[in-house]
Chains A and B, each alone.
Chain A
Amino acid sequence: MTRVLIVAEHDGNELNPSTARCVTCARTLPQAEVAVAVLAADGGAVCQQAAALSGVDRVLRVDDAANAHALAATWAPQVAALSKGFTHVFGPSTTFGKDLMPRVAALLGAPQLSDIMAVEGAQRFRRPIYAGNAILTVEVPAGKQLVATVRVASFEAAPEGGSAAIETIALSVALPTHTRFISVSSDAADRPDLQAARRVISGGRAFGSAEKFNLLYSLADKLGAAVGASRAAVDAGYAPNDLQVGQTGKIIAPELYIAIGISGAIQHLTGIKDARTIVAINKDADAPIFEVADIGLVGDLFTILPEFEQLIGNKA
């Protein structure tokens, strides 16, 4: 019997879509029973959302004022305590899961597999290494508990339609006080979420300034797209860090990805390999981005962007 525990990612009110993707991954394990753990100050609403996901058998609700923010040092001992009896413990391969899951694994003395992209059996998985330039098939010894993060771009979100039972759990775990949450700030709060968006347009160093980078936003609004950026654009301060797409930023799988003034370094391409259609706009016909683009256009972005915006009008 395969028993999977998924640690829910949420902001206190809303379940992050990454959790539904982990459910799909867990469901592909043979004969899997899937439980979702919700750690929160007051997990009521999030538990309801988790219980409504198709493929979830149980929801474990752990309320504690200390769980108001997802501090790995605070959450890990609780997740480790919940993990007893589970063969697999999964979290999303988002900054939340990347921070938390290895801490859980070490407490359990279990190995961790990062970024599961495909399941070949309860003990056998595929994951990318070297920025996606090689794919490893890895086997976990039978009987060994496994901690893993799920590469969210590789799995669709589980649909709604479930009605799992919600169990309230009281843990008696000593929680550390050495780590304290101070604040979180976000520039892009009112824009479509990069990791969930069906359309993404990204800009690179070519924009030359934060002001000019703003050109992307009005086009993005017309397309209903999220905005992304290359590392160079983020480093230069044209775009906030949470827009970075790539090996060390976000890995995304939108239906449409438009790269504008981005050269196509391997570290960037890693983040967009799963996009259905890639469009590249670049003034250099030899830019590596064209090697992976489904549709390429050579030209100056400052000419093309206004034309593009005008041509699509308001009916995109």
Chain B
Amino acid sequence: MSKILVCVKRVVDFNVRIRVKPDGSGVVTDGVKMSINPFDEIALEEALRIKERGAAQEVIAVSIGPADAQQQLRTALAMGADRAVLVQVEAAPEPLSAARILLALIEREQPQIVILGKQAIDDDNNQTGQMLAALWNRPQATFASKMELADGRARVTREVDAGLETIEVDLPAVFTTDLRLNEPRYVKLPDIMKAKKKPLDTLKPDALGVAPVDTLKVVRCDPPPQRQRGIMVKDTQELVAALKKKGLLS
């Protein structure tokens, strides 16, 4: 049976206005709306479509995080994942530790396809999928905007700085999603009810034989320098004059 593993990180919702704590210890997350990382929603949608086309039989959603991450896994189940696994830790670990945990899960589940987001919009690291592929010694197809599967291979279009790159990888492989891969479906109410009955396992990293360590020490968290609001001009002529005054037009 061919399985797809999808990673789902719990992050501050992309619409929330981020505030840095006055003591510089981090950003305010208490009482803030949390969601599935948007790129992971895209990853899950892609997995569901692959399953719906008959190219896989089971979609497993995985999260590494606090107990509250069960909420995001329930949403993933409501979207259509068949079951979910929460690897429970106090706080999401660094990418290398996350990749080690995911590798241990891969060894248990033996998926053909593993899909992650290209980046988590909280830490903006853009590392975990690539690290996982390296540890697993399998191909990576990052920043995917199109995935075509056939004959144990995948042809992937990737969004790169130069434009669009196409590569081919042998399965099993790791994929990371870019924004234009698909548009995730909305969750319907009956699906939320059904999701309550789907299996959601919780386990600790040591059950997988992994001890997550954070190597990098966060010294401080600061708000960014603010740009000042400038001047308003009333018409195009004034705009051109203002640009000339700044030496930006001759």
Contact status of A134 and B224, CB under 8 A, knowing A184-B166, A248-B119, A293-B230? yes
Once bound together, how far apart are the Cα atoms of A178 and B18, in whole Å?
41
Residues of B within 8 A of A72 (CB): 130, 140, 142
Q: Is the interface of B mostly helix, strand, loop or mixed?
A: mixed
Chain A's nearest CB lies how many Å from the CB of B21? Answer: 9
- Cβ contact within 8 Å between A179 and B167: yes
Give the contact-size bracket for chain A. Answer: 35 or more
> What is the 8 Å Cβ interface bit string for chain A, positions 80-95, against chain B (1 contact, 0 not)?
0000000000000011
Once bound together, how far apart are the Cα atoms of A187 and B216, in whole Å?
40
Contact status of A139 and B217, CB under 8 A, knowing A99-B140, A134-B20? yes
Q: Is the interface of A mostly helix, strand, loop or mixed?
A: mixed
Looking at A133, A234, A273, A277, which has the most chain B CB atoms within 10 Å of its CB? Answer: A133
Chain B's nearest CB lies how many Å from the CB of A281? Answer: 8
Once bound together, how far apart are the Cα atoms of A234 and B178, in whole Å?
12
Task: Check if B193 is an interface residue, CB within 8 A of chain A.
Answer: no
Number of B residues with CB within 8 Å of any CB on chain A: 83
Which residue from chain B places its CB closest to the CB of A109 in the assembled complex? Answer: B96
Q: Which parts of A125-172 form the interface with B (CB within 8 Å)?
A: 128-141, 144
Residues of B within 8 A of A296 (CB): 230-233
Segment touching B, from A42-50, A59-67, A303-311: A303-311
Segment touching B, from A19-27, A29-37, A111-119, A204-212: A111-119
Q: Which parts of B232-250 form the interface with A (CB within 8 Å)?
A: 232-240, 242-243, 246, 248-250
Partner of B229, one of A98, A124, A291, A304: A291
Chain A's nearest CB lies how many Å from the CB of B174? Answer: 10
Which residue from chain A places its CB closest to the CB of B18 in the assembled complex? Answer: A133
Task: Check if B53 is an interface residue, CB within 8 A of chain A.
Answer: no
- Cβ contact within 8 Å between B237 and A136: no
B-to-A contact residues, CB < 8 Å: 12, 14, 17-18, 20, 26-27, 94-96, 99, 118-119, 121-135, 137-143, 145, 155, 158-170, 173, 178-180, 215-224, 227, 229-240, 242-243, 246, 248-250
A-to-B contact residues, CB < 8 Å: 11, 71-73, 76, 94-96, 98-107, 109-115, 124, 128-141, 144, 176, 178-188, 195, 199, 231, 234-235, 240-242, 247-248, 250, 255-256, 266-267, 273, 277-279, 281, 290-299, 304, 307-308, 311-312, 315-316
Q: Which 4 A-B pairs have the closest CB atoms?
A: A186-B163, A294-B230, A102-B130, A106-B134
Provide a sorted-by-A list of 27 A–B residue pairs whose CB atoms are within 8 angstroms.
A72-B130, A95-B143, A98-B126, A101-B130, A102-B127, A103-B130, A105-B96, A106-B96, A106-B131, A109-B96, A110-B96, A129-B27, A129-B221, A130-B122, A133-B223, A140-B215, A178-B169, A179-B170, A182-B155, A183-B166, A186-B162, A240-B163, A256-B243, A296-B231, A304-B236, A304-B239, A308-B239
